[in-house]
Structure 1
Amino acid sequence: MTEPLDHGPFFHGTKADLRAGDLLTAGFNSNYRPEVVMNHIYFTAVANGAGLAAELAPGDAEPRVYEIEPTGEFENDPNVTDKKFPGNPTRSYRSVEPLRVVGEVTDWTRLTPEALAAWHERLAHLRSEARGEIIN
């Protein structure tokens, strides 16, 4: 396990309506490769990065960003660290342990409809080329 580069605060983006004290756990389908059930729960030290994940999450509910605290060990997300970018510039992490919701964050920047459409197009392109494999 690689030593994480951050110590918080941390954020998780989702379309779920959560409350302080709720626990987020692994075992759900990936937002990016829906056929993959994730062994980890992902989070970031960048509120706008969590917002991007929330906006890309499936469903019609409003995207939400929550401040969270890991309940156990966590590591740098190997899907974006070193494999794709040196170090951890996205400040992305993952854990097999639950994340506890501290509270909702509302001061993150929403994507424009055009930017969101471009992200969806990029993800569809990665899926069609069988690229974007996830280290689970």
Structure 2
Amino acid sequence: MHDDDWVPVSRENCNWVDGPFYHGTKADLPVGGLLIAGFTSNYDERVVMNHVYFTAVSKGAGLAAEMARGAGRPRVYVVVPTGAFEDDPNVTNKKFRGNPTRSYRSVSPLKIVGELESWELYDAEFIRELRRRVEDGLGEIIN
């Protein structure tokens, strides 16, 4: 797709977006369970999330899992949105035109339909630097 062809994903036109979709976390969740909004952020316990976030890029979900708070192991779940969704405004158009990370959010639950056993990992130094930035309050792209 050429940059000039980019169309923002909104709740009204999300039906054309193809999955599969992924959600990264350290929580141990059951297949068949639902991810719902209204809980604290995976990255900042002071923030209650109004949306559930997900991506069509497994590596991106893996990054979210690596960055998540908690003692569990990083997990990437395969999810299906149960309702309308939109581009994640925290990343859309922030550094690149459009939504190259294919990141989305929804107020509706995401149904867990599977778990990835492996995904492409980021460099460990990149993860450490990103964690430092989040701790310093500079990691807005993560929330």
Does the pair score TM above 0.5?
yes
The size of the alignment, in residue pairs, is 132
- 1:133 Cα deviation after fit: 8.1
Match of 1:96 in 2: 107
Contact 2:40–2:46, Cα closer than 8 Å, also in 1: yes
Contact 1:6–1:91, Cα closer than 8 Å, also in 2: no
Match of 1:27 in 2: 38
Match of 2:6 in 1: none
Match of 1:85 in 2: 96
Greater mean deviation of Cα atoms: 21-30 or 46-55: 21-30
Cα-to-partner distance string for 1:33-60 (whole Å, 9 max, x where unaligned): 4322110000000001000001111011
- 1:113 Cα deviation after fit: 3.3
Contact 1:26–1:39, Cα closer than 8 Å, also in 2: yes
Aligned equivalent of 1:105, options 116, 131, 137 = 116
* Percent sequence identity over aligned pairs: 56
- Normalised by the length of structure 1, the TM-score is 0.85
The gaps in structure 1 that reach 5 residues or longer are: none
- The correspondence of residues 1-136 of structure 1 with structure 2, limited to 5 A, is 2=10, 3-4=13-14, 6-125=17-136, 127=137, 132=140
SS at match of 1:120: helix
- 1:112 Cα deviation after fit: 4.1
SS at match of 1:80: coil
SS at match of 2:113: strand
Greater mean deviation of Cα atoms: 78-87 or 94-103: 78-87
The gaps in structure 2 that reach 5 residues or longer are: 1-8
Alpha-carbon distance in 1 for matches of 2:141, 2:61? 20
Greater mean deviation of Cα atoms: 80-89 or 108-117: 108-117
SS at match of 1:26: coil
Aligned CA-pair RMSD: 2.3
SS at match of 2:48: coil
- The amino acid across from 1:96 in the alignment is V
SS at match of 1:69: strand
